[in-house]
Chain A
Amino acid sequence: MKFAVIVFPGSNCDIDMYHAIKDELGEEVEYVWHDAEDLSGYDGILLPGGFSYGDYLRCGAIARFSNVMKEVVKAAGEGKPVLGVCNGFQILLEAGLLPGAMQRNTNLKFMCRTVGLRIENNETMFTNGFVPNETIKIPIAHGEGNYYCDDETYEQLKENGQIAFTYAGTNPNGSRGDIAGIINEKGNVLGMMPHPERAVDALLGSADGLKLFQSIVKHWRDSNVVTA
């Protein structure tokens, strides 16, 4: 399976993401610059964390109009897995690939720590390697992870099983319904504030994030590799 890590000016988790895929997951991966014209050669698209375009105006607001995003929208439409982490999640929201919006953390602080995440739905292409209601440890690092959506959207998210992860224990940012990560209705676009790419090796404190990437590969193999 071949992944693209999209690099915007101001991305700063792109190298972690690349490392997670190449060295820990053992799959193919390439950096793709924000002005790229074509993502057809990739099976999975990864939008890393950071501060694209300095977070000017709103987090993700400017990155959402970069050239490569047309291709990301296209890939999402084709059903390819698209994962946005942290700033990547914010970009997916701004692009309208996921519903809702981000606000400042309610305590107005940049929160940087390892948190517990509850797997709310383990039947997605991103979470099939987890057990229902399992709690995993993944680091967060954000100032604007306070997920907001209106009542109607929240009910839909719950009804469709679109809430992939919630914060277990204390909610670090005030997000609605303790939401840490959501998928789109079709199930192939995941946005999450915690950083699975920073939890891919026990040496880093947790290897729980690796299962997320393994889930993507498993789903891809099940649907693309013909076994005799």
Chain B
Amino acid sequence: MMKVKIYVTLRESVLDPQGTAVKSSLHAMNYTEVQDVRIGKYLEVTMEPTERPLDEVVKEMCEKLLANTVIEDFEYEVEEAVTR
């Protein structure tokens, strides 16, 4: 089994209303060092060995469903497996 760790983030050109609110809150708590906050999603997908190359399958899943590429980018890393 493989564990695929997928990070979905908002594209740089897209404003992040949630991140902006969290940044204001951190500033209010005196963490004045905070320059910017961007909120994204983290997904863990456990997979059986694939017939097609794993990269191809993961990219396809991200592009079709897990990320909306109009506003989001994705990255992933693959961890070898999880024994039962």
Identify the A interface with B (CB < 8 A).
57-58, 61-62, 65, 93-94, 99-101, 103-108, 146, 148-150, 174
Q: Chain B nearest CB: distance from A14 CB in Å?
A: 24
Please list 7 pairs of residues, one from A and one from B, whose beta carbons are closer than 8 Å in the complex, sorted by A's number: A65-B65, A93-B70, A99-B70, A104-B18, A148-B70, A149-B70, A174-B17
Nearest B residue to A153, CB-CB: B70
Q: Chain B nearest CB: distance from A32 CB in Å?
A: 23
Q: In the assembly, what is the distance between CA of A150 and CA of B71, in Å?
A: 9
Say if the beta carbon of B46 comes within 8 Å of chain A.
Answer: no
User: Taking each of B13, B14, B70, which has the highest tally of chain A beta carbons within 10 Å of its own beta carbon?
Assistant: B70
List B contacts of A103 (CB < 8 A).
14-15, 17, 71
Nearest B residue to A59, CB-CB: B68
Say if the beta carbon of B66 comes within 8 Å of chain A.
Answer: yes
Tell me which of B15, B17, B18, B68 contacts A61 (CB under 8 A).
B68
Using a Cβ cutoff of 8 Å, how many contacts connect chains A and B?
A: 34
Tell me which of A62, A100, A107, A146 contacts B70 (CB under 8 A).
A100
Contact A101–B71 (Cβ < 8 Å): yes
The 6 closest A-B pairs by CB, nearest first: A101-B70, A101-B71, A104-B17, A106-B17, A101-B68, A108-B21
Nearest A residue to B18, CB-CB: A104
List B contacts of A148 (CB < 8 A).
14, 70-71
List A contacts of B71 (CB < 8 A).
101, 103, 148
Q: Chain B nearest CB: distance from A191 CB in Å?
A: 14
Q: In the assembly, what is the distance between CA of A93 and CA of B13, in Å?
A: 19
Secondary structure type dominating chain B contacts: loop
Known: A103-B71, A148-B71, A150-B13. A57 touches B18 (CB 8 A): no
List A contacts of B65 (CB < 8 A).
57, 61-62, 65
Q: In the assembly, what is the distance between CA of A103 and CA of B39, in Å?
A: 12
Contact B17–A57 (Cβ < 8 Å): no
List B contacts of A107 (CB < 8 A).
17
Known: A65-B65, A101-B71, A103-B71. A108 touches B14 (CB 8 A): no
Task: Apart from A103-B14, A106-B17, list 10 A-B contacts with CB within 8 A.
Answer: A65-B65, A93-B70, A99-B70, A101-B68, A103-B71, A104-B18, A105-B17, A148-B71, A149-B70, A150-B13
Contact A94–B17 (Cβ < 8 Å): no
User: Taking each of B17, B18, B65, which has the highest tally of chain A beta carbons within 10 Å of its own beta carbon?
Assistant: B17
User: Taking each of B14, B15, B68, which has the highest tally of chain A beta carbons within 10 Å of its own beta carbon?
Assistant: B68
Nearest B residue to A58, CB-CB: B68
List B contacts of A61 (CB < 8 A).
65, 68
Q: Chain A nearest CB: distance from B78 CB in Å?
A: 21
Q: In the assembly, what is the distance between CA of A62 and CA of B65, in Å?
A: 8
Nearest A residue to B14, CB-CB: A148
Interface digits, B66-84 against A, CB 8 Å rule (1 contact, 0 not)? 1010110000000000000
List B contacts of A100 (CB < 8 A).
70
Q: In the assembly, what is the distance between CA of A90 and CA of B69, in Å?
A: 15
